[in-house]
Structure 1
Amino acid sequence: MNAIALANTEYVQRFGNPTTQTTSVTMERAIEENSSIRPILSAEVHLVLLTFLSYANFFVGTLGIVTNVLVILTYSKLGFSETINISYFFLAISDLCSSVVRSWGALCFVFVVMKTNLPFDPSSVSVTTGFYPGQGFEKTTAIITAFIAFERCLCVQFPLHVRTIVTKRKTVCSIVIIFVLGFLPSNLIHMVYPLKWVFSPSKNRTILAMVALETPLRHIVQRALLAYYSTVLNFSALIIVWICTVFLAVGLKRKAGIRKENLMNPSNSTSDKQKERRVIKTVFLLAITYLACSIPISATMLVPQFVPEFVPTRGLARISLVCVLFSSLITKLNYSTNFFIFLHMGSKFRQTCFALFIK
C-alpha cells in the first residue's frame, strides 16, 4: 500500500471524512494536536516541497506515459517471434498503466487542484482511483522484471534447453498470472472504501468522495493489502532480482570471455552469440535500474517499523510525506528509463522506433 494512500485512509478513520476537512492545513493541525513531537519542517517549507514534488511526480509520470507508448508501438512492429519481446511488451503495458494512475494521483495532490471547486474531493478520490491501482501495477512491474531476470538466468545456465523451458505459451501464461496477482487484489479497496456522492458543508454541494465503511472487514482488508504489497510482493521481487542480477553479472563475464575467444578464432564467432550477450546485458541494465529506483521506496516502508512516528498521520508526518513523494518520484523514473535502455542496447528497436516518425 502506498504511504500517502495509508495517510488518507487513516485520516478518514481518525479525523473525519475529507469532504468536511479538505485542506492539508486542517489535516496538519489535527496531526499536531495528536502528537507530542514537534514537526521538523515548517508548514511553509512543507507546502512548497509537497507542491514541487507533486508537480515533479506528475511530469515524470507523463514522461513515463509517452516513453512506454513508444515501447509498445515499437515492439508491436518488431513482432513477438522471441519470448523476450513478449516480456518487454507486457512490462511496458504495466509501466504505462502505473504511469497513468500515478500521474493522476500526483495531480490530485497539487494544492491548486485541491482548492479548485471540482465535483469530487481530489485527495480522497485519488486513493482508490490512483494510489491503490498504482500500487498494483507498480508491483506487477516488479514481478515482471523479476520474471525477465529469472528467464535470462535460465538461458545462461541451460543454453541448450532454453527453447523447451521458455516458450511463448509459458511466457504469456506466466505474465497473465503476474497481472492477476499484482493488480487484481488492489481492487479490494473498493469494498471497504467506496466512492459515494456525499454532501460537503465546506463546498455547500454534493460531491464524489471516498467513504470509509464502518465494518471490521475494513481493517482486515487494509492490513492485508499493506502486508501483501509492501512486504510479500515488494521484497520477494527485490530478492529475486538481486539474486538473478548476480547470476547475470557472472553470465556477462563468461560471455565476455567467449567473445575474446571468438576474436582469436573468427570461425567460432556467430551473430547469435553476440545477440544473446546483448539481450543479457539489456536485462542486466533493467534489473540494476529497477533495484536502484526501488531502494528509496523500500527504505521508506521500513523506517516506520523502527520509528513509529514516521508515518503520514503522526508527529513526523511532514518529513514522512516529503520522503514518500520523493521516493515515489524515483520509482516513476524507472518507468521511463527502460525506453532509453532499449533504445541504446537494441539496434532493431532503435531503427523501428525511429521509423515510427518517418513516413
Structure 2
Amino acid sequence: MNAIVLTNTEYVQRFGNPTAQTTSVTMERAIRENNAIRPILSAEVHLALITFLTYAYLFVGAMGIVSNILVILTYSKLGFSETINISYLVLAISDLCSSVIRSWGAICFVFVLTETNLPFDPSSVSVTTGFYPSQGFEKTTAFITAFIALERCLCVQFPLHVKTIVTKRKTVISIVIIFLFGFLPSNLIHMVYPLKWVFSPSKNRTILAMVPMQTPLRYIIQRALLAYYGTVLHFSALIAVWICTIFLAVGLKKKAGIRKENLMHPTNGTNDKQKERRVIKTVFLLAITYLACSIPTAATLLVPQFEPEFSTSRGLARISLVCHMFSLLMTQLNSSTNLFIFLHMGSKFRRTCFALFIK
C-alpha cells in the first residue's frame, strides 16, 4: 500500500523529474541499466495517466471536503434523538478527515511540486502526514460503515428489542473503540519516520524532511502497519460489510412484503415502518457504495500474491502504479458520495440541508 508514495520517490530518483527536459531515450536507457522495470507502458503514457489520475483525485477530494461539511452541518441541525444520526455524523467526520489528508498527499505527489522552492520535501513529508493518517481514517470509515450496517441488521432481526440493544451510550463507545483501533495505530509511523530539519544539497538550504530511524525497530513497525492496515483491517471490514449487506438485502425484501400488506390493511404504524424501510435502504446504499469502491483496492492487494511481477519493484511497475492510483481514486470517491445518498433517500435531511442556504 505504501508503494504509491515510494514509487514516486523512486521514479524521480531513477529517471529524473518527468517535467524536466529528459528525453524518452534517456529514460529507457535508465530502465535497461537498472534492469528493474520493463517499459510495458511508455514514459509519456505513464506520466499522462498518473497526471490525470492525480488531478481527478484532487477534484474528487475537494468534492468530498465540501459534501462532508454539508453532512456534518445538516446532522448537527437535525439533532441526535436517533442513534443512527450519531453514526452518520461520525462517518462524515471520518470521511472529511480522509478527504483532507488524501488531498494533501496528492498535492505532495504532483511532480511539479517537487521543483518548487518549498521549505520541506513533499515526497517524504507526505508519507507521515498523508499516507499513513489517510489509511487510519480510511479504515475507520470502513468499520463505521460496517457498524451502521450491523446496527440496521439488529433492527431487522430484533425489532422489539433494538432500543435496548442499540443505545446512544453503546453507539458512542463502539465509535470510540473503532477510532482507537482504526486511526490511533497509524500515528506509530511518526516514531520511526520523524520529521526533522535537515540540510538539502540540491536546494542549498535547510528543509523539513522525513528522517528514518536507523534501527531494526523501524522495519518491524513499518511491516506491522502495512500488514495491519493493508490486510487485517481492510479485509475484515470488507467481509463484515459484505455479511451485513446480505442481511440488509434480506431485510429490505422483508420490509417490502410488510409494506404491501400495510397498503392492503393500513394501521397507525405504517409511517414508522416506511421510515424504517428508508433508513435500511440508505444504509444498504452506503454499504454497496463502500463495497464497490473497495474492490479495486482489494484487487491491487491480492494480485501480487498470484503474479509477483505486479509490483512496483519489478516488470509491471508502471501498470501497478496506475492501478494503485485508480484504487485510491475509488477510495476517495467513497468518501465523497454520502451526501448524495442522504439527499436522495431522506426528505427531512434534504429539507434541512437546503435550509442551510436559505435565510
After superposition, the CA RMSD in angstroms is: 2.2
| Corresponding residue of 1:224 | 224
| Corresponding residue of 2:317 | 317
1:345 maps to a residue whose letter is: M
| Corresponding residue of 2:273 | 273
Unaligned runs of 5+ in 2: none
Q: 1:314 to 1:120 in 2, by over 3 A?
A: farther
Q: 1:296 to 1:28 in 2, by over 3 A?
A: farther
Instruction: Judge which range, 64-73 or 29-38, deviates more.
Output: 29-38
Cα separation, 1, equivalents of 2:310 and 2:274:
49
Instruction: Judge which range, 23-32 or 317-326, deviates more.
Output: 23-32
Aligned residues: percent identity?
A: 81
State whether residues 252 and 280 of structure 1, in contact with CA within 8 Å, keep that contact through their aligned partners in structure 2: yes
| Corresponding residue of 2:338 | 338
1:155 aligns to 2:160 (yes or no): no
Q: 1:35 to 1:149 in 2, by over 3 A?
A: farther
- Counterpart of 1:319 in 2: which secondary structure? helix
Listed as ranges, the matches of 1:116-127 within 5 Å are 116-127=116-127
1:176 aligns to 2:176 (yes or no): yes
Cα distance, 1:45 vs. partner? 1.2
State whether residues 65 and 99 of structure 1, in contact with CA within 8 Å, keep that contact through their aligned partners in structure 2: yes
Cα separation, 2, equivalents of 1:165 and 1:75:
23
| Corresponding residue of 1:143 | 143
Cα distance, 1:200 vs. partner? 1.5
The one-character-per-residue Cα deviations of 1:107-164 (angstroms, maximum 9, x if unpaired) are 1111221221211111111111011100100000001000111111011000000000
| Corresponding residue of 1:282 | 282
Cα distance, 1:198 vs. partner? 1.5
| Corresponding residue of 2:297 | 297
Instruction: Judge which range, 190-199 or 178-187, deviates more.
Output: 190-199
Q: 1:226 to 1:195 in 2, by over 3 A?
A: same
| Corresponding residue of 2:353 | 353
Unaligned runs of 5+ in 1: none
| Corresponding residue of 2:209 | 209
Cα distance, 1:23 vs. partner? 3.7
Cα separation, 2, equivalents of 1:244 and 1:47:
40
Instruction: Judge which range, 348-357 or 190-199, deviates more.
Output: 190-199
Cα separation, 2, equivalents of 1:23 and 1:81:
55
**Number of corresponding residues:** 353
Instruction: Judge which range, 77-86 or 301-310, deviates more.
Output: 301-310
| Corresponding residue of 2:98 | 98
Q: 1:222 to 1:322 in 2, by over 3 A?
A: same
Cα separation, 2, equivalents of 1:75 and 1:130:
28
Q: 1:260 to 1:116 in 2, by over 3 A?
A: same
State whether residues 32 and 314 of structure 1, in contact with CA within 8 Å, keep that contact through their aligned partners in structure 2: no
Cα distance, 1:313 vs. partner? 3.1
Instruction: Judge which range, 167-176 or 39-48, deviates more.
Output: 39-48
Cα distance, 1:206 vs. partner? 1.4
